[in-house]
Structure 1
Amino acid sequence: MATERTVTSNPSNGERPKVVVITGPTASGKSKLAVDLASHFPLEVINADSMQVYRGLDVLTNKLPLSHQNGVPHHLLGTVSPNVEFTAKAFRDSAIPIIDDILARNHLPVIVGGTNYYIQALVSQFLLDDSAEDMDESCLGDPPSVTQSDNNFIGEIDGSNNSYDLLEDDNNFIGEIDGSNNSYGLLKDIDPVAANRIHPNNHRKINQYISLYTRTGVLPSKIFQGKAAEKWGQVDNLRYDCCFICVDACLPVLDKYVEQRVDCMMDDGLLNEVYDIYNLNADYSRGLRQAIGVREFQLLLRICAVKDICEKERELIEGSVLEKGEKLCNGNLMEVVRSSSNTESTILLEEAIEKVKLNTRRLVRRQKRMVSRLQTLFGWNIHYVDSTESISSKSEDVWTGQVVESAVKIVKSFLSDNGSSPSTFGTSNDTGMKITQRDLWTQYTCKACGDRVLRGLHEWEQHKRGRGHRKRISSLKSKARNTTGFVKEKMEYSECEH
């Protein structure tokens, strides 16, 4: 592995260790960039994708194959049991000693992944606040600004490029679906401020908040608004000296590439992987089974495919075509379903594939928005490199010239003693207000957009500037001009209710 320089870090002299963080939406080229940077720097990669940490589903989670890692050490990639819940706290506790070991080898730790709440938990000391130390593992995995998503948006998870964790739309939380509305009512009685922060169908987070209060007697909102929240994102309290690089591309190109990638995954046996872990009674809100691309096929497997496959296997075994114990789905299960005479199976298969594509496109949008929030809400200095042309042209030369070389310059400047440090994050927003003074908790309701709920002043302001909101306001005002006796106050649709 050729390198241009060594990496020096001496935490004992008071300087924070240097780490590089490569984030961005799924399919933008994060993993590839990390490997290519190893030709210029002695680095090791720590995976920060909440689904790629698990063993299994290598095709579905798009793990970088060993043959493409080019000898670069990769950590936390396919190492966790698929049945456990690997929380942001668990990631942090696992990654810190790995980073220490990498630094001890005089190598550069590079954190790579789209699960931003993993990255936040790692680089910030937010989780170490004494008042929050005993919280449930994933309670503090998200920054105080993680809120309900936009209309018709389901997005990350998040997390990773394949996670449903924390997925929300206006009507449904996609993670936990079996909770009771009574829990949300209880949380509202206990801590209405915390209840306003989360969606009523986010039963996992609701139960975590209630559990926190039961065990500690501390209101969740007090913790998020207390000392821990004050430390969140502050430059002096970040654990590492960070260089943040976001690999990004324009949405039309990413959308097209995502759809092509899903088709390739199907050809490579994605459905076989899902079939192998299919279990009618499994918990699909924990561990690897919450990955995008699993639940979409659940109806197909439950109603049609499993029955058809078992019946075909029995017939082939009886006809001595298959030996007992041999599986029909050793071939491509997708082709088996498509060749089935069962029309319902074929329809459900195509619908599931389209759902995977749709949910992945939504994930891309949420990941983009989460990166933007880290920059605008918390003042992180994020360096963007554009992979749009390299994705659309499929040109290695374009990738090297526009993405790799740009990233190399950023990292060189970061590591240079005389270079400007990308870790000089601002602790104030555009108006000079401290970030901790931002309104993160107030609930706003936009009447013009069907009583849509926004949480926090930042999200409210972003919503008001959105094209959809402005079009609705314009339409309502046009209707108002054509309506006699219209009361002026009715036009104030852009105002909010607290």
Structure 2
Amino acid sequence: MRLSFSAACKQPQPLVNFPGGLINMEPFLPRRRKDKVVVVMGATGTGKSRLSIDLATQFPAEIINSDKMQVYKGLDIVTNKVTEEECCGVPHHLLGFVDPNEDFSSVDFRHHASLAVESIIRRGRLPIIAGGSNSYIKSLINHDIKFQSSRYDICYLWIDVSLPVLHSFVSGRVDRMVEAGLVDEVRSVFDPQADYTRGIRQAIGVPEMDRVFRAESAASNDMSRTRLLELAVDEIKANTCKLASRQFQNIVRLRNHLDQRHMHCLDATDALIKRGNEAEEAWEKLVAAPSAMIVRRFLYEDDFMAAIAAAAPPTSIIGAPTVAVAAATH
């Protein structure tokens, strides 16, 4: 499926000779179609990966990870990377490819993400950028003016969840991560000389375990180690909740710099409150189905408007834009 068309070169502005003089016809002609990009935003735990995969199984799409910690190799439980099974065969880019001891800046992300976007579009597919690191998204969009306004149309899907509900959910998720082996995973990379301000060791879940492992090496008694582990898990939960709150505030600020025509907020609160089949039904009703409808309209709006223009009866040049607008609003 071809999502867009790009002009090979800039054409001279067409002019028509009227009694009052030459009139520039460019505003009345169809504009060059822009390439389409979808961005899925939201705080940690809101379901960004899930939604991006839901969409990519309905449209010919590939996903570009924009999570700061998921770009690194290793610590899959700590960074909550999607599993191969969860990917459902959808290609993912910028996921687990950076050396865990290296720094990966917003500039690095912008470079790699731009290349991935261009590669995906060249193959006639839709890039879906998904992740919680709003500084990466802001860097990609705002630094490169061409990306924001000249070449690409961007549809923003913001998954929002009431913060008290989200805090409860991410706390429960930490418990599930511990059950899945978080402690052993972090122990495998523990280094008493580690710098927790660089690379993957910045991830929530790593610095908090430092005292636990130091106590183990110091042969502390079982009771003190158990208590230190409990305190570490509580700290991981608290820091994850703080991160969710910061991400929410960052999205609110970022929203003011985005194209409001294609900014869509989806409230997933009920989907996190409910359990079992009711949660699945709520997700489909509140998030997945509306998002698919939004993306479908976003992808094919150019074809829709072209069809309206083609179906419009012959009219004067001055009246043509008015006819198209009236038809599009009914």
* Common fold: TM-score over 0.5: yes
Q: Secondary structure at the match of 2:64?
A: strand
Q: Residue 387 of structure 1 contacts residue 399 of structure 1 at CA under 8 Å; is this kept in 2?
A: yes
Q: Residue 138 of structure 2 contacts residue 254 of structure 2 at CA under 8 Å; is this kept in 1?
A: no
Please state how far the C-alpha of 1:258 moved relative to its aligned partner: 0.5
Matched, 1:247 2:265: no
Aligned to 1:260: 172
Distance 1:45 1:232, change over 3 A: closer
RMSD between superposed Cα atoms in Å: 2.0
Please state how far the C-alpha of 1:15 moved relative to its aligned partner: 4.2
Distance 1:35 1:7, change over 3 A: farther
Matched, 1:415 2:327: no
Amino acid aligned to 2:4: S
Please state how far the C-alpha of 1:379 moved relative to its aligned partner: 4.5
Q: Residue 116 of structure 1 contacts residue 371 of structure 1 at CA under 8 Å; is this kept in 2?
A: yes
Matched, 1:373 2:256: no
Matched, 1:77 2:95: yes
Q: Secondary structure at the match of 1:11?
A: coil
Aligned to 1:88: 106
Please state how far the C-alpha of 1:240 moved relative to its aligned partner: 2.6
Runs of 4+ residues over 4 Å off in structure 1: none
Q: Residue 374 of structure 1 contacts residue 380 of structure 1 at CA under 8 Å; is this kept in 2?
A: no
Q: Secondary structure at the match of 2:68?
A: coil
Q: Secondary structure at the match of 1:246?
A: strand
Cα-to-partner distance string for 1:124-163 (whole Å, 9 max, x where unaligned): 3x2x6xxxxxxxxxxxxxxxxxxxxxxxxxxxxxxxxxxx
Q: Residue 44 of structure 1 contacts residue 107 of structure 1 at CA under 8 Å; is this kept in 2?
A: yes
Distance 1:236 1:37, change over 3 A: closer
Gaps of 5+ in 2: 9-31, 306-330
Higher strand share: 2
Q: Count the aligned residue pairs.
A: 276
Aligned to 2:286: 402
Q: Residue 7 of structure 1 contacts residue 415 of structure 1 at CA under 8 Å; is this kept in 2?
A: no
Aligned to 2:194: 282
Aligned to 1:296: 208
Q: Residue 47 of structure 1 contacts residue 77 of structure 1 at CA under 8 Å; is this kept in 2?
A: yes
In 1, Cα distance between equivalents of 2:244 and 2:165: 11
Identical residues among aligned pairs (%): 41
Aligned to 1:119: 137
Matched, 1:306 2:324: no
Matched, 1:344 2:256: no
Matched, 1:389 2:265: no
> TM-score by structure 1 length?
0.53
Aligned to 1:9: 4
Higher helix share: 2
Amino acid aligned to 2:149: D
In 2, Cα distance between equivalents of 1:299 and 1:232: 47
Q: Residue 174 of structure 2 contacts residue 236 of structure 2 at CA under 8 Å; is this kept in 1?
A: yes
Q: Residue 7 of structure 1 contacts residue 42 of structure 1 at CA under 8 Å; is this kept in 2?
A: no
Structure number with higher relative contact order (C-alpha < 8 Å, ≥ 6 residues apart)? 2
In 1, Cα distance between equivalents of 2:178 and 2:35: 42
Cα-to-partner distance string for 1:277-321 (whole Å, 9 max, x where unaligned): 11111111010000111111112212x12344xxxxxxxxxxxxx
